[in-house]
Amino acid sequence: MQWVQDPSQSNVDNLNNVGHEASRHFRNKKKAYLKAKIVELENNSKIKNIGACIRASVALRRVTSLELI
């Protein structure tokens, strides 16, 4: 026998799927942003650009501190 799913339950399942996809999307965007910032920090430290290095590290610290909230 095939189970007949309650329409309200299928709406809940669809909403959960959309939420998971949105979370995954923004998690991947954040990961790409952080990787780019790390590369920028490495480049700035290699060329001794201290001002840019400090600004990037502060920005990186802000992003990672938001993760804890």
Q: What are the extents of the domains in the chain? A: 34-69
- pLDDT tens by residue, the chain, 69 residues: 444 556 676 777 788 888 899 999 999 998 998 888 888 878 777 767 777 777 777 877 777 665 554
pTM, to two decimals: 0.53
- How far is the C-alpha of 13 from the C-alpha of 47, rounded, in Å? 51
Token reading at 36: 């780019």
